[in-house]
Every structure is written in C-alpha cells, then in structure tokens.
Structure 1
Amino acid sequence: MSRWKILLEKTLWKHIGILAGSAVVLLISIFFFLKIYTLHGQGAPVPDFTGLTEQQLQHLINSRNLRYTIIDSVHIDNMPKGVVIEQVPGAGQKVKKNRRIFFTINAWTEEQVAVPSLMDYSLRNAKVILESFGLETGDLIYIPSEYTNLVLGQHKEGKPVEPGTLVPRGSKIDLLIGRGLSSETTAVPDMIGMTLEEARRVARSVSLNIGATIYADTVATATDSLNAFVWRQNPPSQRGFQLNLGASIDVWLSIDEDLLKPDEPVELPEQEITDDFGDEFF
C-alpha cells in the first residue's frame, strides 16, 4: 500500500471520529440546555383548592405564580355555594410557573327544574312524576269531584303553578285531589265576563270545579289566553239551579267583547207542530 493511500485512510477516519464526537457533544449540550430552559424536575406541587371560594383561592394562586380559569359549575346540595369541587391538575401534581389551573365550582344559584303537568293523573302517578323531576309532593288538598283520587290542580305556596314554570329542585308541589261527589248542593255561580283564573277561584269558593275550557278562534296568543273571558258557561247560572258539590262547569272563552252584549230579541219563525197521528196544528 502506498504512503498516500495510508495517509488518506488515516485522515478519513480522523474526520469521521471528529464528526461523531461533535455530534455527541452537541446532543449532550442540547439535553442540558433543555433541562435548564424547561426547569425539568423543578415544578412545585399544586395546592388543594377544594372547598375554597374564588376570592379565597386568588391569593394562593398569585403566591404560587399560577393562573386559573373556572370552566364549569354544578349543583350539590350539601356543599357551600361557590366553592371549588374539582381541579385540574389535581392537588399534589407538580407544575411549573404560570401553569393554568382549571376549576369546577358549586353553583351559586339553586338548580331550576320545570314543573310538569299533573292534571288528570292519578295521585300515585303524579307522585312518581314529581319525583322523576326532582320535586316533592306537598300537601294533598281533597276537594269534591266526580272523580276520585284524580289530580284536579297543582299549587305552590298556596298559588296555582302552571306546567313549565321553573322552580328550585326539591320544591314541594301541593296537589288538589278529587274525593268523589258530595250529597250537598250549591247554586251555580255566574262567571260570565271573568278570566279563566277568576272563574276557577269562584268555582272553588263554592266547592265546584271548572270542567272543559273551550277557546274561540280569536284567542291566538298566550296574551290572548290570559285576557280571554268567559262568555258562556254550562250549566248556566239560573235562580234555583243547584249542582252537587264537586261537580264541574264547562266554560267558553273569547276576547270578543261583543259577546258580552245582551242579546236582542229575535222573532222566531212560526213552526208546524204535529201529533202522533200526523194532524197539523198552528
């Protein structure tokens, strides 16, 4: 082998060795740089914020050079309102400065649920429905009715509550329950011109119920429904006309005030009357 060839081979291996050594040094340098830059292993444990309000946790957050965001709220009955119930990262996990902590807190306001429609359900079914909505059965108010153990009304704190009304979870709903007809009777009240709610109050005051409610075509909106008045009732209010306690009165409602005007006398056409034998009488 010539001197030049040997010299070239030595130079080649020398360069390869230099490149390999440089690569190892570069990798070690990068590793130590990243360790210093990211403060590897120098994170501080996250405090336990559970049970603290937002105002209470702010000082602790600032003293640890951390940041936070409240991402959600839930309702738990047996915990104070506004306190932290969950955090991410969890307590004890090591994090670096300026890390953001995410909190879930107990809601400040009570959870609201919609009141279901309980009318015309049996008492047993009404109780099951209330429980499924997170509500409780309140007082049972038995009233005379031709129906026994049927829900005829729903109240909250002594006032009627419409289906869909939002109330706090756990609220008590009082139920008006039919207990069958009474042998006692009462005069039929005159409800012409009253709103439906006024008619219901008047009917209850004499131990009667409102039966069918028939709205005219002119009642097109929710406001119309509130303003609609009774223009016809069956049975009508007549002197000496009596109903058993608990019986129902059907009402027709409209917003057309012309229906309240007294009817003008109408001359009826003369009709033919026949007896069983076909003879005509005039």
Structure 2
Amino acid sequence: MLKSLFNWKVLVNLVVAIGVFVGLVWLTFRWLEYHTNHGQEIPVPNVINKSVHDAVKILDDTGLEYEVDSTNYDPKYRPFQVLQIYPSPGSRVKDGRTVRLKVNPRTWAQIAVPDVINKYSGLAFQRLDQVGLKIGDTIYEPSIQKDALLRILYKGNAVNPGARLPRFSVIDVVVGSGPMRNISIPNVVGLSVKEARAVIAKNMFEVGLVEHEDGGKDESDIIYYQDPAAGDVRDQGMQIDLWASKRTLAELRAKVEQLNSIYRMKVDTSLPPVRYEEVRSEPTYEPPVIPAPVPRKETPKTEAVKTEVPKTQTTTSKPASSGAEKPKAAAGNNHQPAGNVSKPAASATTTQQPVQKPKAKKVVVE
C-alpha cells in the first residue's frame, strides 16, 4: 500500500492537482481585485451646506453614486440645502460607491386633509390641529347645520377631504350659524325643473318631492305647481315640493284647482265676520274705615304782661289806672311831692305761657 503511494505517477498527479488549485485561487483573487477596484479609493467630498444641485454635480465628477433623502423641513435652513452626507466627508470609498445625502426640502411635508365636513366645529378644529393644519379665519354662514363645519378654504379656494396640503398651512373654515328666519319663498312656476332647483338652492331652501305628470324624470319639464306657495314665509332649509309636466299651464288649470283644494286653505267670506267683544269688569274697592279723631285737651293760655321801666321825668305823672297807689310825701314837707311819678308803659306783645296768676302793675317812684 505505501509502496504504491510513492509511485512516481501518483506523485506527479498530486503535484499537478496542487498547482491547478493554487492557480485557480490566484486567478480568483486577481479577478476580485480587478472587479472591486482593490486599492483604488476615492475621498468623499464635503458638500454640506451646498445646494443639492451643486452637490450632485460634484459627486458625478468624482465618480460616486448618490441618493437624495428629504428630511423634515427646517425653516432655519435654505430650501434644498444639504444638511448631512453619509459616509462622512473625508472618508475613502471605492469608485462607484453610493453616497446618501440628506437635504432640507422646499417646504413642509404634505399631509391629507381629514374628512371633517358637516362635523361639529369643536371636534373638527381638534382634528385639523392634530394633523398639523393651522386655522386662520372662522367665517359664519347661515345654515340649518348650526355649529357644523361646512367648508375648508385654502388661499380662498374650497378644499375637499383627502387633498394634500403642506403641513402647518393656514386654512379658513366656514361654520354654520343657524337657519335664517322668515324668508320669502321664490316663485318657480313656469321654470324647468333644473332651473327651479338652482333658484331654490340660491334662496337657501331645499327641493322636496318632484312629481312628474308622466311619471318620468325629465329635468326639462315645466313646473306648474309648488307647495308652499310663492310669497309665503318659511325658515331656511324648508323643503319645497314641485309638480312638473310637459303640458302648458292653461292645459293644467283643472289640475291646479285640484291641488289648490288640497294644499290651499279657503276662507268662506259669505258668513258674517265673528265679532269678539271684550267685557271688562272694573273691580270695586271699599273705602277704608278711618277712625274718628280723638279730641285733645288744651290748657288755657294767658297773656303775660311785660312791663318796662320808663325814663324819669321832671314832672310828676299820674298813674294810668285807679288801682295804683299814691306816692308818699317826703319827710319834713307834707305839701310837696317826694318826686316825679312816671306812667307805666303799654303792655308788650303777648306770648303763650303756662297758666299763672296775673301780676299787679308796678309803679316806680323816685
């Protein structure tokens, strides 16, 4: 067995096999070096803060591939400005390597407008704020849907749900303020059904039942009757029923009279009008009983006599009344008077005082 292994033919075959294997490995590595450009590396250029157009041109000149990724919009940077590059600037990569660029977009990312039409305004505002839309003006419009969001306006134009707008866009909303009261109903008799619909919608009413005489649905049929009648007063949003036909109004006179008997109230004027008399009964009031006044006891009042002492005179005066005392003679001379006697003055004005005894008049002798 061992002797056969050391046979020269076997050794030659073994050497040939090893040489073929080594040659294949060497050729494989050479092919890989050629295919992968082994040893040929290119530095990544610094294109940060450049515009995306300039960055792409530089990468093309260096032989590098690129991918552009738009990140969230940042108002601090210019639109289409390169914010980041991967691999980082200065790194050495092989020719043909793909480089990723993060670029600031032109504006905010677009979002879909949520379906909040005919929803309560409070919930609609909350939903719009959640998706990133800012509410500008709130416009109130008469509508039977009070406090409901009727329309969304962007730059003056109506926006349908699902439309895409830039995030943080300012929108205006139209909210219903409630129905208008006492609106006159328009006259649509003689118009086509299509024209009548437009007139009714313009006057903020709604089309109710539309009955075609032939049972069809031709919008060109002429309206020959309506309920409520033209000129009646109704609230906004009330329905107006229509009757249409292809015949003329003169041919439909009997039909109109029949509808009048059903939908129009007739007032019988042959009977005398009913008079209503208002009977007013005046309430009777008994005079209040006034108690008799209680007499008051009054005390008699007297007049107080007030005297004054007159000035002395050179001649003697007699007393005014007979009840006055005579003057006494001076001592040592019985014939001559002692002095002048003054008259009493007249009584002064009287005043009310309590009852007192009358005082005698006083005569002063000097």
TM-score greater than 0.5 by the shorter chain: yes
Q: TM-score, normalised by structure 2?
A: 0.45
Paired residue secondary structure (1:248): coil
RMSD of aligned C-alpha atoms? Answer: 5.2
Aligned equivalent of 1:66: 64
Q: Which runs of 5+ in 1 are unaligned?
A: 204-209, 225-229, 273-282
**1:188 is matched with which residue?**
184
Aligned residue in 2 for 1:275 = none
Q: What is the 5 A alignment of 1:218-229?
A: none
Deviation at 1:233, TM superposition (A): 8.4
Structure 2 distance, partners of 1:159, 1:191, is 32
Q: 1:33 aligns with which of 6, 30, 33?
A: 30
- Which residue in 2 is equivalent to 1:43? 41
- Distance in 1 (CA, whole Å) between partners of 2:111 and 2:226 is 36
Question: Which residues of structure 2 form unaligned runs of 5+?
Answer: 189-194, 211-215, 262-366
Work out the CA distance in 2 between the residues paired with 1:33 and 1:18: 23
**C-alpha contact (below 8 Å) 2:64/2:96 kept by paired residues:** yes
Counterpart residue type for residue 186 of structure 2? D
Structure 1: distance between partners of 2:28 and 2:46: 33
| C-alpha distance in structure 2 between counterparts of 1:86 and 1:164, whole Å | 33
Which string of whole-angstrom CA distances, capped at 9 and with x for unpartnered residues, describes residues 168-213 of structure 1? 443333223344567xx554363853775x876x55xxxxxx4656
1:87-236 paired onto structure 2 within 5 Å: 90-91=87-88, 94-101=92-99, 111-144=109-142, 148-180=146-178, 185=181, 187-188=183-184, 190=186, 193=195, 203=203, 210=204, 212=206
1:235 and 1:249 in contact (8 A); partners too: no
Q: Secondary structure at the match of 1:138?
A: strand
Alignment of 1:245-264 (within 5 A): 247-250=236-239, 263-264=249-250
Letter in 1 for 2:184: V
The 8 Å contact of residues 146 and 175 in structure 2, kept in 1 or not, is answered as yes
Q: TM-score, normalised by structure 1?
A: 0.55
SS in structure 2 of the partner of residue 149 of structure 1: coil
Secondary structure in structure 2 of the residue aligned to 1:175? strand
Higher relative contact order (CA 8 A, sep 6+): 1
1:266 pairs with 253, 265, 284, which one? 253
What corresponds to 1:22 in structure 2?
Answer: 19
8 Å contact kept, 1:191–1:199: no
Residue equivalent to 1:279: none
Distance 1:154 1:232 in 2: 37
Question: Is the CA contact 2:207–2:240 (under 8 Å) kept in the aligned structure 1?
Answer: yes
Amino acid at match of 2:62: R
Native 8 Å contact 2:65 2:96 kept in 1: yes
Structure 1 residues 7 and 199: CA distance shift in structure 2, 3 A: closer
**Structure with max Cα Rg:** 2
- CA–CA distance in 2 between the matches of 1:23 and 1:270? 111
Letter in 2 for 1:139: D
CA distance in 1, matches of 2:225, 2:19: 103
Q: Partners of 2:50 and 2:19 in 1: how far apart?
A: 54
The Cα offsets for residues 60-87 of structure 1, whole Å up to 9 and x where unpaired, read as 22332234466x7676354644455676
Q: Which amino acid aligns with 2:135?
A: T
Q: CA deviation at 1:119?
A: 3.3
* Cα 1:16/1:53, change in 2 over 3 Å: same
Where is the helix percentage greater, Structure 1 or Structure 2? 1
How far the C-alpha of 1:148 sits from its partner, in A, is 4.2
The Cα shift of 1:125 comes to 1.4
Cα separation, 2, equivalents of 1:36 and 1:271 = 101
- Quick one: which amino acid aligns to residue 266 of structure 1? R
Q: Which has the higher strand share?
A: 1
